[in-house]
Amino acid sequence: MNDTQAADAAELIRRHWQAGTAMPALPDGLRPATRTEGYAVQAHLERPGAAPLFGWKIAATSSAGQAHIGVDGPLAGRILPERVHADGATLSLAGNRMRVAELEFAFRIARDLPPRAASYGETEVLDAVAALHPAIEVPNSRFEDFAAVGAAQLIADAACAHDFVLGPEVTADWRALDLAAHRAVGAVPRTGEHHGIGSNVLGDPRTALAWLVNELSAHGVTLRAGQVVTTGTCVVPIPIAPGDRVAGDFGVLGKVSVAFEPD
pLDDT tens digits along 117-156: 999 999 999 999 999 999 999 999 999 999 999 999 999 9
Q: Are 120 and 229 spatial neighbours (Cβ–Cβ below 8 Å)?
A: no
pLDDT of residue 48: 83
Number of Cα atoms under 13 Å in the Cβ half of residue 218: 13
Distance, in Å, from the CA atom of 123 to the CA atom of 70, rounded to the nearest integer, reads 31
pLDDT of residue 238: 97
Max distance between CA atoms of the chain, in angstroms, equals 51
Q: Which residues of the chain have pLDDT under 50?
A: none
Residue 219 neighbours by CB under 8 Å, 6+ apart: 35, 36, 39, 115
pLDDT of residue 69: 86
pLDDT of residue 47: 87
Q: Which of these, 138, 154, 164, lies nearest to 66 by C-alpha position?
A: 154
**pTM for this model (two decimals):** 0.96
Which structural domains are found in the chain, ordered by start? 51-260 (3.90.850.10)
Other Cβ atoms closer than 10 A to 157 = 31
Q: What share of the chain is helix, strand, coil (3-state, %, to 5)?
A: 30, 30, 45
Continuous H helices in 109-150: 122-127
pLDDT of residue 102: 97
Residue 192 neighbours by CB under 8 Å, 6+ apart: none
Sign of the dihedral through C-alpha 42, 83, 169, 136: negative
Continuous H helices in 20-104: 35-43, 63-69
The torsion angles phi and psi of 118, rounded to 5 degrees, stand at -80, 145
pLDDT of residue 147: 92
Q: Which residues on adjacent β-strands are paired with residue 76?
A: 58
Residue-wise pLDDT for 22-35, tens only, equals: 999 999 999 999 99
Q: Which of these, 211, 181, 175, lies nearest to 196 by C-alpha position?
A: 181
Distance, in Å, from the CA atom of 165 to the CA atom of 211, rounded to the nearest integer, reads 22
Mean residue pLDDT of the chain comes to: 96
Continuous H helices in the chain: 3-19, 35-43, 63-69, 122-127, 151-156, 205-218
Q: What is the 3-state secondary structure of 113-174?
A: ECCCCCCCCHHHHHHCEEEEEEEEEECCCCECCCCCCCHHHHHHCHHHCCEEEECCCCCCCH
pLDDT of residue 240: 98
Q: Which of these, 131, 159, 138, 143, lies nearest to 215 by C-alpha position?
A: 159
